[in-house]
């Protein structure tokens, strides 16, 4: 059994959190490959080291003094170094980085030093080998990861060094320069490493006990999701749930490596398991029929009605062409016999609403066009929705009993989600009602 672990910045913000990481790694011999972020916030209002590094770069660019900032960064690592009783010469590392700073130093190089230094410290603390990501994570000239080359390079390294700590967030370009991913990119490094070594599991350690069934800012103490498929995850994140980036999941999904989201502050909590599919027979018979609920505000529903519309061939196509001409992405198209609606994000029509309506009028000569603004879309996501008859009924009953007027209903053909539209004013209430409903098991 071989596990790849990635720890986020809040799990590596101080000596105290380093200690927790060590406990987690040592609790399981198969935890052999560890990817680290840069030190994150220790308390709310604190700065992430990566943010400090970007500030250093900005100061260099505008010829401002950056010594105070650089010292602040050094202090962060010195504190960890001291707390963990480390012996490596970290001052030499600082001096080396400092000596390379000038107007020509790339922003990616500077930003990457947060993970680089943290990996150095963590490697010593765990007694693992430090492996620089510039020595195995290759980008192509087009800026995309060269997966094959990176997989081969890391698996060769692991043959001789089975226990390693790797800095997240960056790799190397074909001409030898450091290149970072977008912010939060250490998740991607972890996933690439897991795929490279064909890990049995990729554990992504953060400061929450998994992905929550609903947004904790709306529902008090929501339950973490136990099992979620990649398809469900995509639905949830598209509708606003803050989960892993799609780029992150790609390498592990492709190799069917189970991905866990776990909590560094509660190491024994099960967390959330993400996989391509789950064996229904093995799943808890009492599992919840709703996997998660997420939603977004500020949509508009444009309803176009015309008597005997169903007999006019090409009517909807002509409408969609208008939206295409205005470059407006369409979210949903619920329809009935003599009318259909087009649901769009309000921000995409705000500036050209009148032009859009007049273009629709001239292309379609409808009887009426009606616009409802301030609409929230809420997705009820669950792979078990399709097997359970009567769920839609329960949802609508619950919403009706709570005086929530449903403006739109849509169910995807794959039946893993039901999307409803309600007034923005009912956004939070709807999510709470649905969450309470999701607590009921079948
Ligand atoms: N430290 C980087 C950031 O803050 C990358 C990461 O943490 O994943 O974005």
pLDDT digits (tens, 9 = 90+) for 197-253: 999 999 999 998 899 999 999 999 999 999 999 999 988 988 877 777 777 889 999
Least confident of 80-89, 165-174, 186-195, 402-411: 402-411
CA 346 / ligand 1 centre spacing (Å): 31
Looking at residue 280, what is its pLDDT?
65
Distance from the first to the final alpha carbon of the chain: 35
For residue 301, is pLDDT > 70? yes
pLDDT at residue 281 is higher than 70: no
pLDDT classification of 275: cutoffs 50, 70, 90:
very high
| pLDDT score at 283 | 63
Contacts of 319 (CB under 8 A, 6+ apart): 304, 340, 342, 360, 363, 364
Asked whether residue 357 carries a pLDDT value surpassing 60, the answer given is yes
Q: Are 156 and 199 in contact (CB under 8 A)?
A: no
Predicted confidence (pLDDT) per residue in 24-50, tens digit: 999 999 999 999 999 999 999 999 999
**How much distance in Å is there from the Cα of 184 to the middle of ligand 1?**
4
Q: Which ligand 1 atom minimizes the distance to the CA of 37?
A: 7
Q: In sequence order, what are the residues at sequence separation of 6 or more whose Cβ sits closer than 8 angstroms to the Cβ of residue 410?
A: 332, 334, 418, 419, 420
Of all protein residues, the one whose alpha carbon is nearest to atom 6 of ligand 1 is 184
Ligand 1 centroid to residue 16 C-alpha, Å: 20
3-207, what's its fold? Carbamate kinase (3.40.1160)
Which protein residue's CA is at the shortest distance from atom 8 of ligand 1? 184
Return the domain boundaries, the chain.
Answer: 3-207, 292-440
The binding-site residues of ligand 1, defined as CB within 6 angstroms of any ligand atom, are 9, 37-38, 48, 50, 114, 168-169, 183-186
Most informative mutation of 53, 168, 182, 183 for ligand 1 (most atoms within 8 A of CB): 183
Q: What is the CATH number of domain 292-440?
A: 3.30.2130.10
pLDDT band at 285 (very low <50, low <70, confident <90, very high): low
Burial class of 411 by CB neighbour count within 10 A (0 to 12, 13 to 18, 19+): middle
User: What is the pLDDT, as a whole number, of residue 388?
Assistant: 74
* Confidence band of 415 (pLDDT split at 50, 70, 90): confident
Supply φ then ψ for residue 235, to 5 degrees. -60, -45
How close is the Cα of 169 to the center of ligand 1, in Å? 6
Comparing C-alpha atoms, which of 110, 116, 137, 10 is closest to residue 52? Answer: 110
Instruction: State mean pLDDT over 114-136.
Output: 98
Closest among 386, 387, 384, 429 to 406, alpha carbons compared: 429
- Ligand 1 atom nearest the C-alpha of 180 is 5
Q: How high does pLDDT run on average in the chain?
A: 94
pLDDT-wise least confident of 97-111, 167-181, 313-327, 387-401 = 387-401
User: pLDDT > 70: what percent of the chain?
Assistant: 98
How far is ligand 1, taken at its centre, from the CA of residue 101, in Å? 21
Q: Which structure tokens are listed for 225?
A: 């999701």
Average pLDDT (346-357) is: 96
Query: What is the structure's pLDDT at 412?
Result: 78
Q: Which of 159, 157, 233, 249 is nearest to 195 (CA)?
A: 249
Q: Of ligand 1's atoms, which has the minimum distance to the CA of residue 187?
A: 8
pLDDT at 385: 84
Among left, alpha and beta (phi > 0; psi -120 to 50; other), residue 44 is beta
Give the pLDDT confidence score for residue 436 in this predicted structure. Answer: 93
Query: Could you report the per-residue pLDDT of 163-208, keeping only the tens digit for each?
Result: 999 999 999 999 999 999 999 999 999 999 999 999 999 999 999 8
List, in order, residues 6 or more apart from 432 with CB less than 8 Å away.
Answer: 218, 219
Mean local confidence (pLDDT), 338-349: 96
Ligand 1 pocket mutation pick from 119, 168, 185 by most atoms within 8 angstroms of CB: 185
> Residue 60's pLDDT band (boundaries 50, 70, 90)?
very high
The two most distant CA atoms of the chain are separated, in Å, by 81
Encoding tokens for residue 52?
């400090």
Q: 302 or 287, which is more confident?
A: 302
Output 147 or 208, whichever has higher pLDDT. 147
Q: Which atom of ligand 1 is nearest to the CA of 49?
A: 1
């Amino acid at each position: 059994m071989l596990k790849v672990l990635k720890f986020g910045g809040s799990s590596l913000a101080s000596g105290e959190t380093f200690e927790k990481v060590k406990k987690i790694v040592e609790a399981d011999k198969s935890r052999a490959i560890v990817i680290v972020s840069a030190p994150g916030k220790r308390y709310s209002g604190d700065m992430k080291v990566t943010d400090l590094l970007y500030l250093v770069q900005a100061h260099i660019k505008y010829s401002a003094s950056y010594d105070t900032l650089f010292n602040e960064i050094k202090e962060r690592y010195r504190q960890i170094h001291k707390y963990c009783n480390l012996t490596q010469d970290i001052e030499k590392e600082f001096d080396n980085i400092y000596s390379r700073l000038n107007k020509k130093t790339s922003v990616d190089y500077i930003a990457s030093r947060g993970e680089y230094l943290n990996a150095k410290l963590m490697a010593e603390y765990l007694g693992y080998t430090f492996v620089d990501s510039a020595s195995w994570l290759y980008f192509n000239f087009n800026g995309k990861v060269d997966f094959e080359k990176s997989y081969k390079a890391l698996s060769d390294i692991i043959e001789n060094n089975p226990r390693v700590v790797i800095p997240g967030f960056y790799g190397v370009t074909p001409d030898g320069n450091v290149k970072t991913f977008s912010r939060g990119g250490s998740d991607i490094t972890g996933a690439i490493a897991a795929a490279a070594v064909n890990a049995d599991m990729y554990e992504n350690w953060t400061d929450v006990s998994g992905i929550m069934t609903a947004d904790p800012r709306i529902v008090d103490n929501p339950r973490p999701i136990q099992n979620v498929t990649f398809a469900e995850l995509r639905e949830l994140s598209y509708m606003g749930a803050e989960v892993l980036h799609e780029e992150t999941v790609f390498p592990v999904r492709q190799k069917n490596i189970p991905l866990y989201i776990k909590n560094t502050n509660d190491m024994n909590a099960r967390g959330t398991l993400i996989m391509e599919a789950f064996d229904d027979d093995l799943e808890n018979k009492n599992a919840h029929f709703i996997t998660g609920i997420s939603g977004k505000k500020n949509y508009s529903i444009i309803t176009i009605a015309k008597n005997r519309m169903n007999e006019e061939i090409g009517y909807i196509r002509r409408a969609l062409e208008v939206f295409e001409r205005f470059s407006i992405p369409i979210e949903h198209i619920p329809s009935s016999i003599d009318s259909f609606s087009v649901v769009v994000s309000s921000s995409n029509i705000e500036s050209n609403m009148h032009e859009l309506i007049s273009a629709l009028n001239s292309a379609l000569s409808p009887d009426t066009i009606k616009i409802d603004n301030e609409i929230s879309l809420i997705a009820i996501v669950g792979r078990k929705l399709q097997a359970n008859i009567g769920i839609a009924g329960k949802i609508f009953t619950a919403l009706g009993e709570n005086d929530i007027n449903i403006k739109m209903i849509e169910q995807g053909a794959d039946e893993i989600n039901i999307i409803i539209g309600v007034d923005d004013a009912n956004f939070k209430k709807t999510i709470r009602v649905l969450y309470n409903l999701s607590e009921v098991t079948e």
